[in-house]
Amino acid sequence: MSSNKVLSGLGMAMRAGKLLTGDETVLKSVRAGKAHLVVMAADASDNTKKKFRDKCGSYGVVVVEAFDRDTIGQAIGKEGRVVIAVTDRGFAAMIRNGLKSQTEVENID
């Protein structure tokens, strides 16, 4: 699956209302057990990466690092986004599998 398919999957999840954005909103969804997948921009700050890796690790939520904030933002029709949570199991599996099938998740500038 190409990165374009993954990005369009993120867009579909957003339109379906199955995607949350913003640090606090994503953290709340992880704590509440609603997040099935957290996608973090590769250009997120080290502090942000650590915070979400630790929090997702504690709650058993898969966290992946992919793309950059502008690419994620474009995919979901918002300004640059550093962290998003997928709240639907089906979308989460599709996106995770799409990222896994790429030998290397590339940063697209």
Residues 83, 43 contacting (CB under 8 angstroms)? no
pLDDT value for 35: 97
pLDDT < 50 stretches in the chain? 103-109
Spatial contact of 10 and 95, defined as CB atoms under 8 Å apart: yes
- The per-residue pLDDT for 109 is 36
Query: What is residue 105's DSSP assignment?
Result: P
Stated pTM of the model:
0.89
